[in-house]
């Protein structure tokens, strides 16, 4: 039985060769999430209109079609949210035994599982990521973070042996658009487990699942004010960060805004954790299993359209196998399916916004202008929506912008090295230090590299693997503080 047909639209008569892209029938996800036409702010357990009555539009970046109106929260709304959080902290959540708090977190985790399909579709529609990722990664991981932290809620006395731990009170959190619900879970689950109440601002292009999370809080019977979601843009985020009631703030986003936040909080008592950009090196030694490495490299950079702070955007390959790795990568690149994010076969979905597409396009042009050798897949892109071809640059040198700046798109820059020392020197030669990958047959080399690389996470013979029990965070301009694990939870506690 013929199940698929190779795509060779320019020359249908040509014989199929290994590596051709087999075209599948469309396999769209059909679940229609329950979406409202208008989303209000979630403050004190209720959905309320913004005080100034302003709304902005959220669109589907895969089609450019409007999805809903989203409330634009202002300073007065942030103030109401912070006051509601403070009241919930002093009257209900703070005094509540950890065991009881844990029950709410378990309930939220289970409700996220119950609503997983609806949330996955909403996430894909609003943010552009392929449905197979929101379904198989974002949603299960978001629920896992609530499960993991639910388990900690009644064990806080064991977090730091012999020391007292206490919550901060009201925590202000600002998150980006690349993993909207997952970043919310990374922020809210540990904060609540530790006994804090939160005011969270989602990113302006992806507020939908955060506001839908308000509905989950209602369904879980979470006491009003424990979680507040205030949508809006940068100004709303700044109001959350700078509000006098937020005694701890957590931010994930660009290094530029991270620096701004540090400056605005200098001299205040506020505690702060920042998770910023990255320019990770994925290092392939000549003794690596090359097929596995190629899959890992592809996953490392093209996962979520490269909208990943720990994306393996710089590939360092040992010179003796560079030609072979490049040939295999080019072959694999040609078989990646780019297109409708809601299609279950799609590997690479839509770029999150027109602005981000512009940034990626500009940096890729700079790569060509500076003399790197560009390889792009020849796939057809949809006529509407924001899409970018998976792109591979060879003959990149350390001085090229594509080797130095965070592109945050499906663009891989390949460099070569001769010795382990040269690989370390090149990998660490960046202002960032979030993550790195090492591909080799030798365990001893993995251990050596993991101590020499200045990166918060070092993956070995794999890439982009996450677990709620495993702390994540950076060195240098990638930020400070950890998320996940015991270390991440400690960042939400005053340790006496």
Which chain residues interact with ligand NAI by CB under 6 A?
A: 174-176, 178, 201, 203-204, 233-234, 237-238, 241, 252-254, 257, 260-261, 275-277, 309, 356, 359, 406, 408
Are 321 and 351 a contacting pair, CB within 8 Å?
A: no
Nearest to ligand NAI of 212, 337 (CB atom): 212
CB of 486 to ligand NAI, least distance (A): 22
Nearest to ligand NAI of 195, 456 (CB atom): 456
Nearest to ligand NAI of 31, 233 (CB atom): 233
Segment holding 294, helix H or strand E: helix 290-302
Nearest to ligand NAI of 73, 339 (CB atom): 73
Nearest to ligand NAI of 254, 462 (CB atom): 254
CB of 207 to ligand NAI, least distance (A): 9
Q: Annotated catalytic residue: which of 82, 197, 217, 309?
A: 309
- Helical residues (DSSP H) of 201-289, grouped into ranges: 208-219, 234-242, 255-265
CB of 254 to ligand NAI, least distance (A): 3
CB of 237 to ligand NAI, least distance (A): 2
To the nearest 10 degrees (0 to 180), the angle between helices 180-193 and 116-127 is 130
CB of 386 to ligand NAI, least distance (A): 13
Are 223 and 195 a contacting pair, CB within 8 Å?
A: no
Say how far apart CA 250 and CA 199 lie, in whole Å: 11
Nearest to ligand NAI of 322, 348 (CB atom): 348
Are 434 and 457 a contacting pair, CB within 8 Å?
A: yes
Q: Which residue is nearest to ligand NAI (CB)?
A: 237
Q: Does 309 qualify as catalytic in the annotation?
A: yes
Segment holding 142, helix H or strand E: helix 139-152
Say how far apart CA 348 and CA 366 lie, in whole Å: 23
Q: Phi and psi dihedrals of 200, rounded to 5?
A: -120, 135
Nearest to ligand NAI of 408, 439 (CB atom): 408
CB of 481 to ligand NAI, least distance (A): 13
Are 78 and 236 a contacting pair, CB within 8 Å?
A: yes
Say how far apart CA 464 and CA 435 lie, in whole Å: 9
Say how far apart CA 493 and CA 483 lie, in whole Å: 13
Are 388 and 355 a contacting pair, CB within 8 Å?
A: no
Are 85 and 199 a contacting pair, CB within 8 Å?
A: yes
Say how far apart CA 124 and CA 134 lie, in whole Å: 7
CB of 57 to ligand NAI, least distance (A): 15
Q: List residues bridging with 197 in a β-sheet.
A: 170
In 3D space, the residue among 93, 111, 114 whose CA is nearest the CA of residue 102 turns out to be: 93
Q: Annotated catalytic residue: which of 29, 275, 477, 483?
A: 275
**Token digits of residue 475:** 């060195």
Please provide the DSSP assignment of 35-74 as one string. Answer: --SEE-EEETTEEE--TT--EEEEEETTTTEEEEEEE---
CA distances from 210 to 250, 359, 441, 465, 485 (A): 16, 26, 42, 24, 23
Nearest to ligand NAI of 181, 317 (CB atom): 181
In 3D space, the residue among 170, 160, 251 whose CA is nearest the CA of residue 489 turns out to be: 160
Nearest to ligand NAI of 195, 468 (CB atom): 468
Q: Does 406 qualify as catalytic in the annotation?
A: no
Q: List residues bridging with 39 in a β-sheet.
A: 70
Segment holding 86, helix H or strand E: helix 75-88
CB of 231 to ligand NAI, least distance (A): 9
CB of 184 to ligand NAI, least distance (A): 11
Residues with a known catalytic role: 275, 309
């Amino acid at each position: 039985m013929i199940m698929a047909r190779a795509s060779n639209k320019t020359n249908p008569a040509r014989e199929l060769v290994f590596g051709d892209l087999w075209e599948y029938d469309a396999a769209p996800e059909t679940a229609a999430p329950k979406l409202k036409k208008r989303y209000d702010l979630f403050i004190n357990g209720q959905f309320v209109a913004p005080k100034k009555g302003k709304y902005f539009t959220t669109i589907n970046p895969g089609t450019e079609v409007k999805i809903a109106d989203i409330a634009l929260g202002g300073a007065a709304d942030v103030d109401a949210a912070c006051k509601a959080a403070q009241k919930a902290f002093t009257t209900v959540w703070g005094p509540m035994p950890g065991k009881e708090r844990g029950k709410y977190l378990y309930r939220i985790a289970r409700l996220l599982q119950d609503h997983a399909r609806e949330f996955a579709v909403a996430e894909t529609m609003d943010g552009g990521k392929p449905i197979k990722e929101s379904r198989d990664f974002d949603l299960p991981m978001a629920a896992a973070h609530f499960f993991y932290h639910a388990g900690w809620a009644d064990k806080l006395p064991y977090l730091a042996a012999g020391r007292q731990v206490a919550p901060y009170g009201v925590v202000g959190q600002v998150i980006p658009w690349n993993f909207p619900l997952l970043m919310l879970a990374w922020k809210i689950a540990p904060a609540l487990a530790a006994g804090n109440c939160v005011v969270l601002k989602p990113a302006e292009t992806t507020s939908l699942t955060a506001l839908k999370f308000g509905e989950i809080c209602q369904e879980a019977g979470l006491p009003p004010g424990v979680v507040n979601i205030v949508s809006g843009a940068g100004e709303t985020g700044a109001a959350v960060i700078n509000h006098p009631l937020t005694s701890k703030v957590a931010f994930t986003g660009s290094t530029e805004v991270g620096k701004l936040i540090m400056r605005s909080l200098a001299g205040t008592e506020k505690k702060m954790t920042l998770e910023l950009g990255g320019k990770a090196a994925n290092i392939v030694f000549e003794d690596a299993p090359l097929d596995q490495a190629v899959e890992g490299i592809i996953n490392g950079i093209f996962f979520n359209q490269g909208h990943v702070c720990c994306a393996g955007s710089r590939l360092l390959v040992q010179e003796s196998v560079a030609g072979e790795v490049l040939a295999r990568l080019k072959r694999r690149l040609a078989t990646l399916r780019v297109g409708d994010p809601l299609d279950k076969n799609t590997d690479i979905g839509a770029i999150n916004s027109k602005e981000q597409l512009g940034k990626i396009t500009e940096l890729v042009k700079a790569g060509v202008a500076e003399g790197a050798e560009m390889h792009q897949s020849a796939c057809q892109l949809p006529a509407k929506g924001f899409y970018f071809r998976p792109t591979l640059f060879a003959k990149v040198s350390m001085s090229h912008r594509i080797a130095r700046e965070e592109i945050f798109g499906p663009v891989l820059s390949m460099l070569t090295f001769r010795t382990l020392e040269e690989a370390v020197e090149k990998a660490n030669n960046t202002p960032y230090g979030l993550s790195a990958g090492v591909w080799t047959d030798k365990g001893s080399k993995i251990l050596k590299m993991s101590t020499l690389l200045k990166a918060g996470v070092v993956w070995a013979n794999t890439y982009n693997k996450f677990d709620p029990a495993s702390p994540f965070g950076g060195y240098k301009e990638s930020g400070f503080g950890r998320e996940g694990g015991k270390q991440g939870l400690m960042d939400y506690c005053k340790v006496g």
